[in-house]
Amino acid sequence: MTEFFGKRWHDMGGDPAGTINPDEHDFALWEKRVDALMVLTSAAGLMTTDSLRRVLEDMGPDAYETMTYYERWIASIAQNMVEAGAVTTEELGAKMAEVRARGVTYGAAS
Amino acid sequence: MPHDHHDHSHEGLSPSGHPYRADNDTDLSYWQVMEIALRELLIKKGHLTAAQIHAQINAMDSRSPANGARVVARAWVDPEFKAALLDNAGEASRAMGFDIGPMHLIALENTDKVHNVVVCTLCSCYPRNLLGLPPDWYKSRAYRSRTVIEPRKVLSEFGLIIPEQMQVRVHDSTADMRYIVVPAQPEDSFGLSEGELAAWVTRDSMIGVSLPLAPQ
Amino acid sequence: MKVRVKSHWPPGHIRTPAYLRGKIGQIERRIGLFNNPEGTAYRQPGPQRELVRVRFRMAEIWGARAERGEDEIEVEIYSHWLEPV
């Protein structure tokens, strides 16, 4: 590895990489809801595209490789909502425990 | 994997022929719990309404490559519209009645001398308010990394061979603009109506990784 | 007009791709004033910055590694990252 000089992991233009995988998927309801949360909280002035990306970048390359696109987005949106004062981590923790207790599938819990 | 919660009968494939992402039927993930909890809290605390979320999902679902295809088809048959599109693609799209929100759009014309292709090396910027959400490969490390350094090789993996004498122009979508490629009209389609032509314009041809195709 | 992208390496949220830093290109068009993402990303709006589209030759960016040196890349860059050549 060469010494780090400031090029961050997400800034990947020109990096060596494999062949393009053309597989696609249709978006699940929960993914569409994450997308809608980003659009609507931005329109409400609670976050921006830039603050979304800043958190995604700070999550690091491991998150990019191990989490799906909208998993990373909801993590970033949640952090942004805490930063904006729209929710507290305490509220989020309590609500997540309540949601988890509702059932074992997304359909049952949402 | 079973999909008996969905109200369709295809065997694991959506109407567009893609596998469904595991969701309602699989174990609830930490991130799904977070989505539900955050959404409910934002509604409870008055930052959003459930109706807004429903409407936003509907709005996004109504955006698809078919919108961009109509824009391109009009540009093929109407030189005045094409000039307006190349001047300000956002305004030209709005004038056709598309709700593209505050998006700033630039149209890139393919000619017999220049082939344009769009990428976002830093994240996944895409003209989502016109074409809908981007395909998975557009967000992949492979596409984001390689398109700026070896676009011809990348395009060849999509089956598109650019002649050596033709210029390739890569557009790295880094900031506030979004891009749509206006592919050159195929000779086989000359004389068709605007409505017929729209069926030739594929999503990938508006990203620049393929050419328009005769409808199957 | 010819410009060079500054070869700066600050930390944080930056929209100037690393592969362009220090490279020389030609202004393609000026787009207007936009919020500076280096501030808005941290909830610090600050003054708007001019956004400029710059065209680069592949040979300038990649040297001998370019597939075809005459091919081009166009990128939006905020004006505070550009210096005249």
Q: Residue C72's beta-bridge partner residues? A: B169, C57
pLDDT for C45: 87
Residues of C in contact with B151 (CB under 8 A): 67, 71
**Chain C contact probe: residue of B148, B161, B165, B167 with most C CBs at under 10 A:** B148
User: Could you please report the per-residue DSSP string of B114-171?
Assistant: EEEEEE-SSS----HHHH-SPPGGGGSHHHHHHTTT-HHHHHHHTT-PPPTTSEEEEE
Contact B130, B103 (CB under 8 A): yes
- Number of CB atoms found within 10 A of residue B199's CB: 17
Please name which of B124, B122, B125 lies closest in space to residue B105, comparing C-alpha atoms.
B125
d(CA A54, CA C36): 13
Contact A14, B145 (CB under 8 A): yes
Q: Between chains, do B175 and C66 touch, taking CB under 8 Å as contact?
A: no
Please name which of B28, B3, B1 lies closest in space to residue B15, comparing C-alpha atoms.
B3
Whether A52 contacts chain B with CB within 8 A? no
Contact partners of C by the rule of 3+ C-beta pairs under 8 A? A, B
**Chain A contact probe: residue of C7, C40, C51, C61 with most A CBs at under 10 A:** C40
Are residue B19 and residue B112 in the same domain, yes or no?
no
Would you write out chain A's pLDDT as a tens digit for each of its 110 residues?
Answer: 567 889 999 999 999 999 999 999 999 999 999 999 999 999 999 999 999 999 999 999 999 999 999 999 999 999 999 999 999 999 999 999 999 999 999 989 98
Number of domains in chain C: 1
Q: Which residue do the tokens 């008055």 mark?
A: B46
- Number of CB atoms found within 10 A of residue A23's CB: 11
pLDDT for B33: 97
User: Could you please report the per-residue DSSP string of chain B?
Assistant: ---TTSS--SSSB-TTS-BBPS-TTSBPPHHHHHHHHHHHHHHHTTS--HHHHHHHHHHHHH--HHHHHHHHHHHHH-HHHHHHHHH-HHHHHHHTT---TT-EEEEEE--SSEEEEEE-SSS----HHHH-SPPGGGGSHHHHHHTTT-HHHHHHHTT-PPPTTSEEEEEE--SSEEEEEEPPPPGGGTT--HHHHHTT--HHHHHTSS------
Domain map of chain A by residue range?
37-109
- Work out the end-to-end distance of chain B between its first and last CA atoms, rounded to an integer number of angstroms: 31
Structural domain of residue C31, as residue ranges? 2-84
d(CA A71, CA A9): 18
Chain A residues with CB within 8 Å of chain C CB:
5-8, 11, 13-14, 48-51, 53-54, 57, 83-84
Please name which of C39, C46, C52, C47 lies closest in space to residue C6, comparing C-alpha atoms.
C52
* d(CA C48, nearest CA chain B) in Å: 12
Q: Between chains, do B37 and A98 touch, taking CB under 8 Å as contact?
A: yes
Contact B119, B173 (CB under 8 A): yes
Q: Which residue do the tokens 């233009």 mark?
A: A13
**B3 is a domain residue:** no
Whether B47 contacts chain A with CB within 8 A? yes
Single residue among B62, B82, B99 that ends a domain in this structure: B62
- Whether pTM exceeds 0.90: yes
Contact partners of B by the rule of 3+ C-beta pairs under 8 A? A, C
Are residue B96 and residue B182 in the same domain, yes or no?
yes
Q: Is C53 exposed, middle or buried (0-12, 13-18, 19+ CB in 10 A)?
A: buried
The string of pLDDT tens digits covering residues A13-39 is 999 999 999 999 999 999 999 999 999
Q: Between chains, do B168 and C72 touch, taking CB under 8 Å as contact?
A: yes
Helices A89-100 + B30-44 axis angle, to 10? 120
Q: Between chains, do B175 and C65 touch, taking CB under 8 Å as contact?
A: no
**Residue A42 three-state SS:** helix
Are residue B22 and residue B35 in the same domain, yes or no?
yes
**Residue A19 three-state SS:** coil
Per-run averaged pLDDT (10 residues), chain B, 216 residues: 39 52 70 98 98 97 97 98 98 97 96 98 96 96 98 98 98 97 98 98 98 95
Structural domain of residue B145, as residue ranges? 64-207
* Alpha carbon distances (Å) from C15 to B94, B158, B183, C75, C81: 28, 28, 28, 10, 10
Q: Which residues of chain C have pLDDT under 50?
A: none
Q: Are strands C72-78 and C49-57 parallel, antiparallel or unpaired?
A: antiparallel
**Chain A contact probe: residue of B29, B38, B64, B204 with most A CBs at under 10 A:** B38
Please name which of B167, B162, B155 lies closest in space to residue B207, comparing C-alpha atoms.
B155
- Number of CB atoms found within 10 A of residue B5's CB: 12
Q: Between chains, do C17 and A13 touch, taking CB under 8 Å as contact?
A: yes
Number of domains in chain B: 2
* d(CA B30, nearest CA chain C) in Å: 26
Share of residues in chain A with pLDDT > 90 (%) = 92
DSSP A105: B
Q: So what's the ipTM on this one?
A: 0.98
CA C13 to chain CA mean position, Å: 14
**B4 is a domain residue:** no
- Work out the end-to-end distance of chain C between its first and last CA atoms, rounded to an integer number of angstroms: 9
**B213 is a domain residue:** no
d(CA B84, CA B86): 6
- Number of CB atoms found within 10 A of residue C19's CB: 23
Q: CATH number of the domain that C31 lies in?
A: 2.30.30.50
pLDDT for A70: 97
